[in-house]
A and B are shown apart, each in its own frame.
Chain A
Amino acid sequence: MAQVVVVTSGKGGVGKTTSTAALGAALARAGERVVVVDFDVGLRNLDLVMGAERRVVFDLIHVVQGSARLSQALIRDKRIDTLFLLAASQTRDKDSLTDDGVERVIRELRPSFDWVICDSPAGIERGASLAMRHADLAVVVANPEVSSVRDSDRIIGLLDSTTDKAKRGEQMEKYLLLTRYDKNRAERGEMLCIEDVLEILCIPLLGIIPESKDVLHASNMGLPVTLNNPASAPARAYNDAARRLQGEQVPLVVPSDKVTLFSKLLGRRAA
């Protein structure tokens, strides 16, 4: 039975889609059965980052509206055969997502996968609230700057009040993924430091992803950063975050681009 994870942030452009793809690929490479679901109907991007944009026939809206079966819409990754994509529609908008349809899709996905990772659109409207509604666990993506942190705080409030889990009176598990972190700029006081962000958001840290050109490079290649260059600093950070999601205790360090013994070992294991 799958864990349903929502990757959310409130603010746009902080790295939700990149993180969904990177975590999904990292989990799948560890042997887990993973489906990544794009909820950003009308502004879909996950298909590009996964390198599947030329293979989308049916999408989430077709399945929600019953005009295609789930098995027809699931796109298997070319590199890892336990990784699947359920793309969003680019020609519709978020109003095409119905409550019942989304619930049915999530219910149908649960038995066949270990992880269902929902890539939430930005904002707090329909798309975002449907992406988080059925989640068991939330990964809150934030950049170390005040507007992103405040929006994430708002999202955490919604996770605790509007999701199915919250309505059943249960506690939603929430983890912070701090992305685009630049140690030097934080030290110069140009961005919030990790302690400040944690002090405001009060949720456990899943990982710190360093700012890196590897992320953009991987997106342009149509590859999750964890597959494009597994030895790169952001890939290592995402791999550690994925292992923490699986319940492993992994010491929290901010990987840097310097080649360390650790990254050599990781690179070799991945090869």
Chain B
Amino acid sequence: MSTARPSFKFRGGSFHALVVRPESPIEAWLADVDVLLARSPGFFAGKSVVIDVSGLSLAKQAFLGLLDELSKRDIRILGVEGANPADVDGRVPSLVRGQAERPDTAAVPAVKSPQAALVSSLLIDAPVRSGQAIVHPEGDVTIVGSVSSGAEIIAAGSIHVYGTLRGRVLAGAYGNQRARIFCRRLDAELIAIDGHYIVADEVEPHLRKAPIQAWLEGDELKIMTMN
């Protein structure tokens, strides 16, 4: 008689993680994080985050303090990159990508540009519900899904909605006349570019429920269908 053995299953897998690179001074950087979280409370929700401290030279105490501050903000830290393994204290896994040693601070500016590209546009892969506000002061916002009545998107750049737009969208909200609004189906309460807005009642009937783009010509907000 043989007893059934528990079987082990192995499989390979790869996962995406968001790499967050704190900047010095840490207090000011944390304040910026708080501003971001106040605008979009769900920004880090469900995201695995890797902290890259390779650009900083933090003492052990300051580093552990930073981890505490981030966990206080419900940011789930998957691992840390560029820290001295002795500083990590076993709190989070130390990831090695060929630079476990602290690099010279001179190397920092060279790696800054890819991060700037990373934050310049925001992709939301879910419907935006009534009462939710997405504020993105850096660049474009793309929504794969609908924007509900009572929801609001505010972006420095253009806004793209691959779904029905029922809420309010404000593109170029920080002064950008070249920003545009695109959506698959226009049913918006309000659309605005660089402060020039129109409300639902002012939208011409043939544009309602149509795929459209909106742009600014001088002081006039123009809308046309994109069939």
- Chain B interface mostly helix, strand, loop or mixed? loop
The answer to whether the Cβ of A77 comes within 8 Å of any Cβ in the partner chain is no
- B residues 47-105 with Cβ under 8 Å of A? 47, 74, 76
Given A156-B129, A167-B74, A199-B164; A161-B45 close (CB under 8 Å) = yes
Measured in the bound complex, the distance between the Cα atoms of B126 and A212 in whole Å is 35
CB pair A154 B45 closer than 8 Å? no
Q: Interface residue tally of chain A, by bracket?
A: 10 to 19
CB pair A167 B150 closer than 8 Å? no
Measured in the bound complex, the distance between the Cα atoms of B166 and A32 in whole Å is 42
Q: Mark B37-48, 1 if CB is under 8 A from A, else 0.
A: 000011001110
Measured in the bound complex, the distance between the Cα atoms of B150 and A150 in whole Å is 8
CB pair B146 A202 closer than 8 Å? yes
- Chain A interface mostly helix, strand, loop or mixed? helix
Question: Which residues of the other chain, B, contact A166 by a CB distance below 8 angstroms?
Answer: 45-46
The answer to whether the Cβ of B13 comes within 8 Å of any Cβ in the partner chain is no
Complex: chain A residue closest to B145, CB-CB? A202
CB pair B127 A154 closer than 8 Å? no
Question: Which residues of the other chain, B, contact A150 by a CB distance below 8 angstroms?
Answer: 130, 148-150
Measured in the bound complex, the distance between the Cα atoms of B164 and A160 in whole Å is 20
CB pair B127 A202 closer than 8 Å? yes
Could you name 22 residue pairs across A and B whose Cβ atoms are closer than 8 Å? A146-B149, A150-B130, A150-B148, A150-B150, A153-B130, A154-B129, A154-B131, A154-B150, A157-B129, A157-B131, A158-B131, A160-B126, A161-B42, A161-B45, A166-B45, A167-B45, A167-B74, A169-B46, A169-B47, A169-B76, A171-B46, A200-B149
A positions within 8 Å CB-CB of B: 124, 146, 150-151, 153-154, 156-158, 160-161, 166-167, 169-171, 199-200, 202
